[in-house]
Amino acid sequence: MEDNLEIWVFCDYRHHPHDRLTFQVIGLARHLSAERGRVTGVLLGHGVDGIAREYISHGAQRVLLVDDPELARYRTDLYTAITCDLVQAHRPDIFLLGATQFGKELAARVSKRLGVGLCAECIFLEWEREGGRLIASSSAFGGDYLARIAWSEHRPSMATVSPGSFRERSPEENGLGEIVRVEKGFRNRAGDIRIISSVRETHQSSKLEKARVVVAGGRGMRSSEGFHHIRELALLLGGEVG
């Protein structure tokens, strides 16, 4: 493990505060830094100063905040371009993202554009005792095996982290950290994508490990129509289909 490590965490706040994955990844980053480096949150959005302060109270020592109305809703092209610009400008050693649908999409695009390796859906990260390399553990072959993965010399070492793999830190009301506002001239690369409107589903699916009720079905359902009744029952009970 090196001194003065820069560990970045992408801050996905779309389902804040119910989804705790970003807080868990920040906790992992602080564990990896072992007080010998700095944990930086990367936050893109609009009007999210309060959320930035929450990330600091949960362990982020710095938050790079890019605030613009164009970033209020997720745009694959803009988020990828801005994130890559930030990484190339600051050169972090490690870049972690939560393994949500959003995080997995963004991580794949960023790693491809930067030409660095990406370890997907890690359940554990640790420093190698001999050699000091960062080692990731991830399920392989349908979960029957656990693969241990190391990165090449290219930086940053990127990984997506599975939910529930690490605990979030207890919040500190007066946690020390800084919010750094970053001005990005990205309007000239807005591309042809335009978000006309968005509609939130009445029922937002949650992680099975967080569901209070799980409704399951098997071969006895006989057809997809049978599973339609399972989904209706889960919705009625406020649960999830497992």
- The CATH number of whichever domain residue 132 belongs to comes to 3.40.50.620
pTM over 0.75: yes
Count of domains forming the chain: 2
Q: Are 229 and 133 in a shared domain?
A: no
Q: Are 226 and 177 in a shared domain?
A: no
Which run of H or of E encompasses 146?
strand 145-150
Q: Are 221 and 168 in a shared domain?
A: no
Which run of H or of E encompasses 56?
helix 49-57
Cis peptide before 92 (omega within 30 of 0): no
The whole-number average pLDDT for the span 145-150 is: 87
Q: How far apart are CA 46 and CA 35, in angstroms?
A: 31
Q: Are 129 and 178 in a shared domain?
A: yes
**For residue 84, pLDDT beyond 80:** yes
The whole-number average pLDDT for the span 57-65 is: 96
Q: How far apart are CA 35 and CA 241, in angstroms?
A: 42
Q: Are 144 and 227 in a shared domain?
A: no
Structural domain range at position 221: 208-241
Q: How far apart are CA 168 and CA 20, in angstroms?
A: 8
pLDDT value at residue 210: 64
pLDDT value at residue 34: 86
Specify which residues 65 forms β-bridges with.
43, 181
Q: Are 79 and 113 in a shared domain?
A: yes
Q: How far apart are CA 43 and CA 9, in angstroms?
A: 9
